[in-house]
Structure formats: structure tokens, C-alpha cells
Amino acid sequence: MGTVTRIVLPTGFAGLEAPEVWPRPRSAPRPDRLGASIESLDGVGPTIARRLGKLGLRTVGDVLWQRPRRYEEPVPTKQICDLFGDEEAVVEGVVRSATSRRRGRLKILTARIADETGEIKATWFNQPWLEGKLVAGTSVRIRGRANRHGFAVSSYDLDGDAETGDFAPVYPAGEDVTQKKLRDLHGQALAYVRDVGDDVPGALLVSDGLPIRADALAAIHRPRSLAEAEVGRTRLAFDELLVLRLALLRTAAARESASAQPLGEPGVLIGRYRSSLPFELTSDQERAMQEIDADLDRAIPMQRLLQGDVGSGKTVVALHALLRAVERERQGALMAPTETLAEQHFLTIDELCAPLGLRVTLLTSSLRAKEHAAARQLIASGDARIVVGTHALIEKEVDFHDLAVAVVDEQHRFGVAQRSALVEGRSPHVLHLTATPIPRTLALTVYGDLEVSELALPPADRKPIVTAWVTDDRSSAAYSRLCRHLDDGRQAYVVCPLIEASETRVARAAEEEAERLRSAELRGYRVGCLHGRLPPVERRRVMAQFKARELHVLVATTVIEVGVDVPNATIMIVQEADRFGLAQLHQLRGRVGRGPEQSYCLLVSRSRDELSESAEERLEAMVATTDGFELAERDLEIRGEGQLLGARQSGYSDLRVVRLRRDQDLLERARDVARTLTDEGLLADAVDRLLGESEHLGES
């Protein structure tokens, strides 16, 4: 396959009859102008600049490259007497009165709004900054849906601007910066759009029917239709894929010239490992191990992806690969994307290695200086046979004595730069682990040419997790059920709501919630709390206590999303589950159902009329299936075609614009094109940036 489905350009692209909002071509691009401070835009003083900085917007270029999260379809403006059903509409009126109240963590603002034909009760959720602004007499234009309680507002305008009801981009705004402000800034930044230049050869763009980059950017910010926005997105996705492919070619070239030492056949240590396992390996695990063994016996470095849903048992397979290195008196390392996950792996692997008389070394950047130096020393001398860590493993001062096998866990959360840094200059055999189902073509694009092993079936003694969805008026029943599990000697998780605030506030909320539960629903039980702000020593202690059954319940933020493995934990309550994405809920749910006992996941949400349609669909999907592939597909359907841009799909670190299913053709095309471009050094800057920039992956 070498062609992309041909894209028909709407007028306005490539300078044809450009509509007024699009800037006229200027003589030559001046990329330096994009570095201008955001304060050079109208209406941005130091205070707003600081708030924008928190959204990652510091320069004019940052604004230009920020992508809308989605687009709002235009909806009709209606008179209040004409509102009915569940239809989306815009209403223009005047505030009569406003009140606010709290319900749990939810802040609800209600305003009576009137036009000539009647009055409605409009409701805003969690927008406390609006409180002082909705005073009697203010003219408003609100967009939302009428329901039997009134009118649930989705967007609004306080001074009667026309935008609310129109087709418009929706940017990732925050509490401090309004949507309106962002739209205004994007409008201004478009004046600089020609300065982005375009280093992809014009002939290629023409043959593939792709717009120039400036037009693509203008199209995503000011499209007149979804189709136009999609053409813009397609071009940006093509760039992303092309740069990624070029980067992979560059790292592959380095790798191919390298050769690995064959590790031969499995020996005595592997025999002991297998007999020390408390369970029979599944046939999928056996097959994956054989495939790995075959790779390890070759003189070319292994590049294998081990794919298996949450709970399918990837860790024992990964440890098999690491032990193959140990057997040859060499080193094995496992790199995980977060501290919690690295620590968790450390605990699991250390336990599995204990009967073999092997010690495991942990290296994360939050170790104290002395511990860190000691770990580095063991790694450099080769005394550390198995090392588990975070990105700390790829820092310059870490010098492996003889790394033979590297395992990269949840690799989609690492960028290509980080994945290649572990391997650079050493050419170990590499095993990538993923729980995210990815089509093979995409895997090839993102990871280069690798082989795939799959754990299709979970260990045989697993029962599918039973999932139930209850609204918060019935949450006490959920807690009674949880307590019954505790009384039977099982353990439990309570996941705190996802609040889009600072890590510190999230941590504080989790601690408050743990405290509240200790004196309410969970009185009399030992309740621990885990979040990203805990000092690492403390975090490890809490995890170890939970593993040792010294705690009954772990109240946690999404730090437990990946890797946490305590088979005796058989029930989980997710609070305000409607706020989580489907992929995230699936990952969270994977923390239970890890042993032979029947496990349960109880999703607690607000009442149905307070939920968006897609939130209801997500919760229904969770109840309906535990299959990760099915949920991934369902997720794409729910987010729908309207959700064109921005969503950082499943965390593929280097891909922000690409859409997994839609862009299959495009990614094959990028693969072909990349091969023909390498010699010309095109896009070299972007490739350098991709390979050099090591994006920091935080906790939770």
C-alpha cells in the first residue's frame, strides 16, 4: 500500500480564495516571530500570562500549536417557551437571581434567567468563579440542554457575544482562563501562521493532496466545517508520523549496525524459577517465553512487543527474559513510566527472586543521594543483576556494567527518545510490554519493526470482574458491600475522584477523603492512603503494608492505575466514576480480579440527570464488558467523529494528533515517505527535537 485516500481540499486551502479570517501569505516565514512572548498579544498582562503559562502557553507559537479539544456544532437560538425535550439550544436572556450550593464535592450554581417568553432555571457545575458575575440584570447567552430540572449549561457568554451558538473550537481551558479568552488569543495568533514555514516538499503535498502547514493550522483553529478541520488535522498527523518514522529510522540504523550476544539456551536458573512459581504458566505465557528464547539466541538485538490485557500475567514473562541475562552473568533492567509503578514492580520481582537467592536493585530519581549513589555503584560494577527503575535508569551518570536484556513497561507512555536512550550504545535485547491493544500497523509505526507476542487469555483460575454502577444516593450500600469483603479477610481499594487541579490539591483531597472514611463508612478498619505527593519512602511503606495485609483498605488517587498487584484485594469503589475516561476506568478496574476469588468493581456516579450522555455510555460500557479491546473500540465510538483533535490517545507519547483507526493509511504512507526522505536531511530539526527532548512523565 503506498497511497493515502485522496483528500479533496475545500476552497481556502493552499491560498485559493482564502476566507478573510485566514491571513494573506507574507513574503517569507520568520520562525523567530513565533518565539515572541505571549504578552505581545492584546489583552495579555503579567497576571494572565502567568495563568496561560500554567496551560503551557508562553509564546505566540505555543498558542498557534495548541489544538482544540473538539468543536461545538452550531445550535439554534430559542425562546424559552420553545424549549423542550433533551435538545441542545442557545438561550438569550437576563439574570433575575442567582444562588449557589454544595453537594459533596460538587458546587452547583443556579440562576433564574428570563426572556420575553418565560423563565428557566439554569445550572452550572463546579464553576465557582462565576458566582460574583451572575448578578441580577446581567445579560447572558447560554448554551446547553433543557431537562426536567431546568437547563444544564455547557457554555455561556456574559456580554452577548455571538460565539456561543456557532460552530467553534473548544480549547483545553482551565479555571483561570476562559474559553472566550483562548479563542480570542488563537484569533490573534493566526496572524503569525505563515511563520511556521513548511519543510515538507511541495511536490509531495500536492501528490498526496495535503494542505501546506500554515493552512492546516488555520483550518484547525477556524474551520467552517468539521470536514475542513479534519483536513487540517490530517496534515498535522502526517507530520507527526513522518517525524516519528524518521526518528525510528535513525535509531534503527544505529541498532542494525550493532550486534547482540546470543544468550544460548535457558539453563538451570530458569528451571529453578519455573518450579518456584506458585502457579502453572498459561499456554500463552509458555509460547511468549519460547518466542523470547528464540530471539535471545540470535546475534541481532531482540525487539519484541509483549501485548496482553490488564491482569494477563506479563510480569512473569518479563522476569523470564531478565533472568536469561542473569544466567549468563550479565544484567537485566526493567524501566517503568512512574515511580509508583517502578516500586510496585520492584516489590513483585524482588519477591519472585527471593527463592532464587537473587537481589533486585531499585533506581528512581527520588532515592536519597546516598542510596542513589549506592545503586549506581552496584549497577556499574555489575553486582546488580536485575535493576528496576524509572527514567532514572537512562540518565547520563547511570552506567551499566553489561546490560543484556532491557524490558520497557507500558512503553507507550515513553517517547521514542526515552526508549532509545536505554538501548543507546549498548544494544541489549529489548522486550516492550503493553496493556493497550494496538493494531499491528500502528505498532510497527510507533516502535519500528518489531515482533509481537500476545497473552490473549488470562490465567485460567480468573473469574471476570463483576462491575456495577450505582448513583451516589446508593453509595452507602456500596460501602456495606465493601465492608463484607473486608470481614471475609479480603482487601479493597477506594479510588478518589479525578479533579483537574494541581497534584497537591489532588493529594490533599485524597487524604481528607481517607480521614473522612476512617470515621464514617470505614470506621474500625485500617485505612491507608496513597497519592503522588507522598515521599517515596512513605509510598513504598504504604504499599508494603497493604501487600502484607496490615491495611484493609487503600484510598488512592489514579497513582494506582497501573501495576499495583495485590491479589487479595477483591473489591474496588471508584468515586465519581463519571469523571474518568474509559481507558482509565479499565486500568483502574484491573487492580482487582488478580486472584482466584470473584472480584467486584463498584462505580459510583452522580445522578443520571446530572450526567452527560457520553458519561452514561462510558459507565454502561464498563458494566457490559471487561474486554480491553472491546472497550478501546467503544471508547473511540463514544468519543465520536466530533472529537477530532487533541485527545492524547492512550498515551502514545509522541503522537498527539494521530488517530489510531482513522490514520492507518496515513501511517503506511508516512512509513514509505520517510524511507525516501532520510538522505535529504529533511525535517531534521523536528527529528532532533523528538529524539533529544525527553518529556517528563509525572505521576498519576
Interface residues with ligand ADP (CB under 6 A) are 279-282, 285, 308, 310-316, 435, 459, 461, 565, 567, 594
Residue 281 CB, shortest distance to ligand ADP, in Å, is: 5
Residue 434 CB, shortest distance to ligand ADP, in Å, is: 10
Strand 106-115 to 118-125 pairing: antiparallel
637 within 8 A of 620, measured Cβ to Cβ:
no
Cα 188 to Cα 17, 39, 44, 500, distances in angstroms: 21, 12, 11, 27
Residue 282 CB, shortest distance to ligand ADP, in Å, is: 5
Residue 465 CB, shortest distance to ligand ADP, in Å, is: 13
Q: Three-state SS for 192?
A: helix
Task: Please give the full DSSP string across 28-63, using - where no structure is assigned.
Answer: S--GGGGGSBGGGSTT--HHHHHHHHHTT--BHHHH
- How far apart CA 616 and CA 619 sit, in angstroms, is 5
Residue 503 CB, shortest distance to ligand ADP, in Å, is: 25
State which residue, 592 or 644, has the beta carbon closest to ligand ADP: 592
State which residue, 289 or 555, has the beta carbon closest to ligand ADP: 289
H or E segment to which residue 389 belongs: strand 386-389
State which residue, 224 or 549, has the beta carbon closest to ligand ADP: 549
Residue 531 CB, shortest distance to ligand ADP, in Å, is: 21
405 within 8 A of 423, measured Cβ to Cβ:
no
State which residue, 203 or 548, has the beta carbon closest to ligand ADP: 548
State which residue, 312 or 427, has the beta carbon closest to ligand ADP: 312
Nine-digit cell at 628?
480491553
> What is the 8-class DSSP label of residue 471?
E
- How far apart CA 544 and CA 564 sit, in angstroms, is 11
* Single-letter amino acid, residue 228: E
Residue 597 CB, shortest distance to ligand ADP, in Å, is: 12
Q: Which phi and psi (to 5°) does residue 647 adopt?
A: -55, 125
Residue 584 CB, shortest distance to ligand ADP, in Å, is: 15
211 within 8 A of 219, measured Cβ to Cβ:
yes
- Note the residue count of the chain: 700
Q: Which residues pair with 89 in a beta bridge?
A: 144
State which residue, 59 or 344, has the beta carbon closest to ligand ADP: 344
State which residue, 307 or 427, has the beta carbon closest to ligand ADP: 307
Nine-digit cell at 629?
479491546
Residue 279 CB, shortest distance to ligand ADP, in Å, is: 4
240 within 8 A of 654, measured Cβ to Cβ:
yes
Contacts of 203 (CB under 8 A, 6+ apart): none
State which residue, 129 or 279, has the beta carbon closest to ligand ADP: 279
> What is the 8-class DSSP label of residue 462?
P
Residue 455 CB, shortest distance to ligand ADP, in Å, is: 7
CB neighbourhood size of 37 (10 A): 11
State which residue, 316 or 517, has the beta carbon closest to ligand ADP: 316
State which residue, 175 or 461, has the beta carbon closest to ligand ADP: 461
State which residue, 274 or 579, has the beta carbon closest to ligand ADP: 274
Q: Which phi and psi (to 5°) does residue 306 adopt?
A: -105, 110
Cα 458 to Cα 285, 309, 520, distances in angstroms: 10, 8, 37
State which residue, 551 or 667, has the beta carbon closest to ligand ADP: 551
Residue 316 CB, shortest distance to ligand ADP, in Å, is: 5
Rounded to the nearest 5 percent, the helix, strand and coil shares of the chain are: 45, 20, 40
Residue 601 CB, shortest distance to ligand ADP, in Å, is: 15
Residue 307 CB, shortest distance to ligand ADP, in Å, is: 10
**Which position has the grid cell 517503568?**
336
- How far apart CA 215 and CA 156 sit, in angstroms, is 29
H or E segment to which residue 684 belongs: helix 684-692
Per-residue H/E/C for 288-351:
HHHHHHHHHCCCCCCEEEEEECCCCCHHHHHHHHHHHHHHCCCEEEEECCCHHHHHHHHHHHHH
State which residue, 66 or 315, has the beta carbon closest to ligand ADP: 315
CB neighbourhood size of 481 (10 A): 16
State which residue, 454 or 512, has the beta carbon closest to ligand ADP: 454
- How far apart CA 52 and CA 59 sit, in angstroms, is 10
Residue 294 CB, shortest distance to ligand ADP, in Å, is: 21
State which residue, 174 or 567, has the beta carbon closest to ligand ADP: 567
Q: Three-state SS for 427?
A: coil
Residue 253 CB, shortest distance to ligand ADP, in Å, is: 32
H or E segment to which residue 406 belongs: strand 403-408
* Single-letter amino acid, residue 417: A
Convert 411-427 to b/e letters by CB count within 10 Å (16 or more is b): bbbbbbbbbbbbbeeeb
End-to-end CA distance of the chain: 39
- How far apart CA 436 and CA 517 sit, in angstroms, is 33
Residue 324 CB, shortest distance to ligand ADP, in Å, is: 17
State which residue, 424 or 627, has the beta carbon closest to ligand ADP: 627
